[in-house]
Amino acid sequence: MKKIIITGATSGIGKELALQYASKGNKVGLLGRRTERLEELKEEIGERAYFRTLDVTDHELAEKMYTELIDEMGGLDMMILNAGMGRIQMMPPWRAESKLIEVNALAFAHGCHFAFDYFKKHGGGQVVGMSSMAALLAHHRAAAYTASKHFLSNYMIGFRQKAKRVEADITLTEIRAGYILTEMTERAKGMFWVSDVGKAAAQMIRGIEKKKNIFYVTKRWRLLAWVAKCVPEFIWNRI
């Protein structure tokens, strides 16, 4: 039985990961901004679920909530940093981009730092970062989003290097997801190779269990990753 904290657990990938991990007999600590949804998920999972309402951009409160969940679960084996935002159309452009960066980059970095320090003190564990194929790309319509995922990817590389320099057994796994049908993407246009969230979460869990450094979901996105690395910038600039 593992003790797992999942941020952004109120819907989509985070919720599905919580359900699937709990069904395997693990304890799950659920974090999200919507208390009602956390209560519903707790009721669905039962006694193996613990939750706290949290906006991950409040770093001081986040540390308190992480610590409380760890105490309630009796330890921590894995931290899944899933909280994130896509493009926000209801705010002025810079306000929207700054909020996205605050959630996708700064809050992620804070959670990764917290988990790494905890695992360093307690002998080991696994940090999972919910990245995207966008980490390999840049696009004029989503400059902040693609940059935030590239930050996540590079940040995890740096911490992977740190992990080799400590005595604890710490694994850092980056999930590079393609299009997955969730509340956040249900109105998006132009999606292809779309996976339902259940299938995607099951593949993520398999990749996490194998302690992969980088894992593509679904697997066919590895092909596009190879293409993205080979195509020169001047071609991307015309897309």
- pTM beyond 0.85: the answer is yes
Which CATH number characterizes residue 95's domain? 3.40.50.720
Mean pLDDT of the chain: 90
Q: What is the CB neighbour count within 10 angstroms for residue 162?
A: 13
What pLDDT is stored for residue 196 in this prediction?
84
pLDDT at 229: 72
Three-state secondary structure call for residue 202? helix
Share of the chain above pLDDT 90, in %: 71
Range of the domain at 176: 3-236
| Per-residue pLDDT band at 24 (split at 50, 70, 90) | very high
Annotate 53-85 with DSSP letters as a single string: E--TT-HHHHHHHHHHHHHHHTS-SEEEE----
Average pLDDT value for residue range 181-197 = 69
pLDDT in tens, 129-177: 999 888 887 777 788 999 999 999 999 999 999 999 999 999 999 999 8
Q: How far apart are CA 7 and CA 82, in angstroms?
A: 5
Residue 224 has pLDDT above 90, yes or no: no
Burial of 229 (0-12, 13-18, 19+ CB in 10 A): exposed
Contact 56, 62 (CB under 8 A): yes
How many beta carbons lie within 10 A of that of residue 189, not counting itself? Answer: 4
Give mean pLDDT, residues 225-236.
68
Confidence band of 40 (pLDDT split at 50, 70, 90):
very high
Q: What is the pLDDT of residue 41?
A: 97
Domain count, the chain: 1
Coil vs helix vs strand at 86 = coil
**Per mean pLDDT, which range of 19-33, 146-160, 178-192 is the poorest?**
178-192
Helix, strand, coil % (nearest 5) of the chain? Answer: 50, 20, 30
